[in-house]
Amino acid sequence: MRAYDVILKKRMGRELAKDEIEFLIDGYMSGDVPDYQMAALAMAVFFQGMTARETSDLTMAIVRSGDQVDLSAIAGKKVDKHSTGGVGDKTTLVLGPLVAAAGVPVAKMSGRGLGHTGGTIDKLESIPGFNTSLDMGSFTDSVNRLKIAIGGQTGNLAPADKKLYALRDVTATVDSIPLIASSVMSKKIAAGADAIVLDVKTGSGAFMKTLEDSTGLARAMVDIGTLVGRRTVALITDMDQPLGRTVGNALEVREAIECLMGHGPEDLENLCIALGSQMVCLAEKAGSPEEAAEMLRGLLRAGKGLEKFRELIENQGGNPECTRDPGILPAAEETVDITAPSNGYVTGIDAEMVGVAAMTLGAGRETKESTIDLAVGINLEKKTGNPVKKGDTIAILHINDRDRAVRAGEMVLKAYSFGPEPPETRKLVMGTITSEGVKII
């Protein structure tokens, strides 16, 4: 078998066999298939696409390129949740403890933020003492005892994906649904969960900006999960404006605590219930998403999610008193108000621009090597649809550097749009994709 022939076959729009896909991935990792040939294959896939079977075979070839986490020592069905990335997305901090309180084992391996999107690990590390570097024994023991552990990705998971992504990034082949889907799902499958809930974002702050593209990606990932024996459900959710009212690590932890206390932003609570109810169903702890949602709301009202979050923090070396006294969390030296330039309504907030503004303040990384400031960020005092008067505070910057604040403030003001009438309300959950089909709401 020659790499040239496999590349030509895909360039001609023909379906690749499993052994051909494995030959290329194995050869790429061993060095027998050079970058230029893998780049040619990526471009052929970009233009010709892949069938669901090809994409699942590619995913499993990537999975087998490295370690696979064995979670069999954890009792019960392990359900993982993955978000395609957004701004202000602190759902794991809320739904993880809440779903664990429902008796579902939450064995969560999360990542750090990059660019305008935040990362769960960075947020948790804003809690003094919180340890995200758990060895496998401690991780497993924590889930068995508490039903939850959240740590950074361990081991050498899906190394072929890291190598492929670096190549795609410099060859204009990032935006290929089969390649994105196999990248996401290879890491989820290697992480060992029995079932997967996907939060696929759509809108200005999402990787996929349109509902059509988001649905295509969700469908591809659900197909992969189904074909490799992992029950998978995807929700298409709105990221046309940031989720909740905060963007920035310690600020988002504060907001997650408020949500677990039962007085968080409505959109954050509703999204956590929607995603969490799918996790509870896949773990077979409820007969329907509606039943699961009712269960989770009851646990939230009873303070069981907050109690579980405290247990998680204490178990991983953090100070659980931050759930009672948020002043323990890192705080910026100064705040700067951003004000409305006119009367009217907020007609939109460009989520990506807000994310870039937060990164400019120091809350995010421009490169993987960048250091971040856990205290800085943005409070959104006004969201889409809210009425405003000229001079009203629409956002508050939490800053440690005035020069950065000037640039970030200009971005935040530019991110807001205003008009004389309120805009049409966008649905928070726009669709559900299962192995049985697509349901757009």
Would you put residue 118 in left (φ > 0), alpha (ψ -120 to 50) or beta? beta
Cβ contacts of 100 within 8 Å, gap of 6 or more: 106, 146, 147, 148, 308, 312
Query: Tell me, what's the pLDDT at 359?
Result: 93
Rama region for 192: left / alpha / beta (φ>0; ψ in -120 to 50; rest): left
CATH 1.20.970.10 residue spans of the chain: 3-49
Query: Across all residues in the chain, what is the average pLDDT?
Result: 95
Which tens digit of pLDDT belongs to each residue from 312-366? Answer: 999 999 999 999 999 999 999 999 999 999 999 999 999 999 999 999 999 987 7
pLDDT at residue 23 greater than cutoff 90:
yes
Pairing of strands 429-434, 437-440: antiparallel
Q: Is the pLDDT of residue 440 over 90?
A: no
**Claim: this prediction has a pTM higher than 0.75:** yes
Neighbours of 297 (CB within 10 A): 16
Looking at the domain that runs over 330-419, which CATH code has it been given? 3.90.1170.30
The arithmetic mean of pLDDT across residues 416-437, rounded, is: 95
pLDDT value for 284: 95
Residues assigned a catalytic role: 82, 161, 168, 183, 187
pLDDT at 85 over 90: no
- Which residues, in sequence order, are CB contacts of 266 under 8 Å at separation 6+? none
**What residues does CATH 3.90.1170.30 cover in the chain?**
330-419
pLDDT digits (tens, 9 = 90+) for 371-397: 899 999 999 999 999 999 999 999 999
**pLDDT single digits (tens) 30-71:** 999 999 999 999 999 999 999 999 999 999 999 999 999 999
CATH classification (class only), 79-324+429-440: alpha beta
Domain with CATH 3.40.1030.10 in the chain: 79-324+429-440
Class of domain 3-49: mainly alpha
Sign of CA dihedral 243, 173, 221, 211: positive
| Phi (first) and psi of residue 370, to 5 degrees | -65, 145
> Which pLDDT belongs to residue 355?
93
